[in-house]
Amino acid sequence: MNNTELWQSVLAQMQFHISKANFSTWFQNTEIISKENEKITISVPNAFSKEWLSNKYNKLILKTLHDIDSSTKELEFVIKPQSVKNTIPATLLENEKQEDAQLKFEEFKINKETNLNPRYTFDNFVVGSFNELAHAAALAVADNPGLTYNPLFVYGGTGLGKTHLIQAVGNKIYNESKKKRVKYISSEKFVSGIVSAIRTNSMEAFKASLAPIDVLILDDIQFIAGKNKSQEEFFHVFNSLYEKNKQIILSSDRPPNAIAELEDRLRSRFEGGMIADVSLPDYETRLVILKQKLQEKNANLPEDVLDYIAANVKKNIRELEGALNKLLVHNKINQALDLKKTKELLKGFVFSPFDIANYKKIIETVAKFYNLEEKNLFDPTRRKEIVKPRQIAMFLLRRELKYSFPAIARKFGGKDHTTAIYAYKKINQENEENNKLTEELNLIKQRIYSG
């Protein structure tokens, strides 16, 4: 493995640990320029990157390198202004050899016109009961944009395929008719576009730039909650596209009715089309996904290894892919991947439910879900917006962690344990009778176990 290949493997791993935005900001134009004894020297384009990489990512890079080649003990970052743009894509694009497919770095192949990543297609999207409604709705929209379901609203936890699916719709429409203007925008970017348009008094120009769009795809729309000015502008953008039968596709980490601080008129717009969720794949589907990914990468792994990954990496599909990539990199270098080595390499990916759902995680997740601060859950108040989340937290401590009622009572300020029993019974009963609550509980649980 030469330095370029080594760095590509590291990059392929890094993209599973940090956000795409961070990734492209900090890792573009970086490369390994030397490897001597235990020290690897990485060139970076400027002082700013150097500072960030050495302060924030040093440990992660070192660990990743160390996993691939255990002789690596030290990193050095040196500034080397780049004359050639984007060293990474150039080398990766040259590298069309099939066996290196898993190391290809798609980030840089994003279509400039649509912002879509061509790797997200329907062909490589595995369908199971966990996502079949969302898939069917997405396909229907792709075949008949603007006319079937508008908007299409896809929601679900992190790493479960929302971005993949909504981009697949965009890619299909774009590939079948280059005349259609498709635009994918993360809601973060969208909001910052609105904010800067407001600041520079160029809202009209901003809206005009969106007017010709036939298909607008906004990812992670929950991000707009609480940002009132942006919501207002988005409402107008939404309406003007909608009135012209332009397709709008949205994704979110929760359904519209669970997005706090979302304007009612936007919520009712979001609910006016098709709402579909993606949830967690089961064991069989995880196995199918792994096999599909192997096929894509033209790679192979022993059956018992695949079985181990499918049975144990349950958090989400992104993690499943991360685990697979890690094993493939190892396999490429050392060739001798057996079950024992697999277990060792996947330690960070495998959790028992009790490792994930601890007291802190439950409190944190419930508070965040209801837009409260953690300490609010312990406020001795009868305000409805606090009482319900508090009861849910108590319910989950009992249900998921088997806490005793007196233990729950102690956590909540020594309340009489009958309060905890009451909370448990109440939520338990409502869970059986009230679909909205059941849905919320499912989403909260999904986050506890996948976040």
Q: Does 321 bind ligand ADP (CB under 6 A)?
A: yes
The alpha carbon torsion through 390, 360, 352, 440 (nearest 10 deg) reads 30
Cα Dmax for the chain: 70
Nearest to ligand ADP of 80, 318 (CB atom): 318
* Token pair of 405 as six digits: 């009622």
Please work out the total of residues on this chain that contact Mg ion, with binding judged by CB under 5 A.
2
Nearest to ligand ADP of 126, 225 (CB atom): 126
Site string for Mg ion, 17-56 (x = CB under 5 A): ----------------------------------------
Site string for ligand ADP, 130-169 (x = CB under 6 A): -x--------------------------xxxxxxx-----
The sheet with strand 215-219 has its strands ordered as 182-186, 215-219, 247-252, 152-155, 274-277
Least distance to ligand ADP from the beta carbon of 96, Å?
A: 21
Which of ligand ADP, Mg ion, none is residue 159 near (CB under 5 to 8 Å by kind)? ligand ADP
Nearest to Mg ion of 65, 276 (CB atom): 276
Least distance to ligand ADP from the beta carbon of 301, Å?
A: 17
Least distance to Mg ion from the beta carbon of 244, Å?
A: 27
Nearest to ligand ADP of 167, 231 (CB atom): 167
Stretch that binds Mg ion, among 84-92, 159-167, 275-283, 337-345 (CB under 5 A): 159-167
Least distance to Mg ion from the beta carbon of 158, Å?
A: 7
Question: In 10 A of CB 25, how many CB atoms?
Answer: 13
Least distance to Mg ion from the beta carbon of 281, Å?
A: 16
Least distance to ligand ADP from the beta carbon of 379, Å?
A: 33
Stretch that binds ligand ADP, among 55-63, 81-89, 265-273, 313-321 (CB under 6 A): 313-321
Nearest to ligand ADP of 164, 445 (CB atom): 164
Please work out the total of residues on this chain that contact ligand ADP, with binding judged by CB under 6 A.
15
Least distance to ligand ADP from the beta carbon of 135, Å?
A: 8
Nearest to ligand ADP of 74, 284 (CB atom): 284
Least distance to ligand ADP from the beta carbon of 107, Å?
A: 11
**Rounded to whole angstroms, how far apart are CA atoms 164 and 143?**
17
Nearest to ligand ADP of 15, 29 (CB atom): 15
Least distance to ligand ADP from the beta carbon of 127, Å?
A: 7
Q: Does 357 bind ligand ADP (CB under 6 A)?
A: no
Least distance to ligand ADP from the beta carbon of 98, Å?
A: 19
The secondary structure of the chain, three-state, reads CCHHHHHHHHHHHHCCCCCHHHHHHHHCCCEEEEEECCEEEEEECCHHHHHHHHHHHHHHHHHHHHHHCCCCCEEEEEECCCCCCCHHHHHHHHCCCHHHHHHCCHHHHCCCCCCCCCCCCCCCCCCCCCCHHHHHHHHHHHHCCCCCCCCEEEECCCCCCHHHHHHHHHHHHHHHCCCCCEEEEEHHHHHHHHHHHHHCCCHHHHHHHHCCCCEEEEECHHHHCCCHHHHHHHHHHHHHHHHCCCEEEEEECCCHHHCCCCCHHHHHHHCCCEEEECCCCCHHHHHHHHHHHHHHHCCCCCHHHHHHHHHHCCCCHHHHHHHHHHHHHHHHHHCCCCHHHHHHHCHHHCCCHHHHCCHHHHHHHHHHHCCCCHHHHHCCCCCHHHHHHHHHHHHHHHHHHCCCHHHHHHHCCCCCHHHHHHHHHHHHHHHHHCHHHHHHHHHHHHHHHHC
Which of Mg ion, ligand ADP, none is residue 321 near (CB under 5 to 8 Å by kind)? ligand ADP
Candidate residues 126, 141, 215, 248; the one interacting with ligand ADP per rule CB under 6 A? 126
Candidate residues 317, 324, 362, 392; the one interacting with ligand ADP per rule CB under 6 A? 317
Q: Name the residue whose CB lies closest to ligand ADP.
A: 161
**Rounded to whole angstroms, how far apart are CA atoms 50 and 56?**
10
* Token pair of 315 as six digits: 């958090």
* Token pair of 216 as six digits: 């607008």
Candidate residues 43, 163, 252, 391; the one interacting with Mg ion per rule CB under 5 A? 163
Nearest to ligand ADP of 166, 420 (CB atom): 166
Site string for ligand ADP, 34-53 (x = CB under 6 A): --------------------
Interacting residue ranges for ligand ADP, rule: CB under 6 A:
124-126, 131, 158-164, 289, 317-318, 321
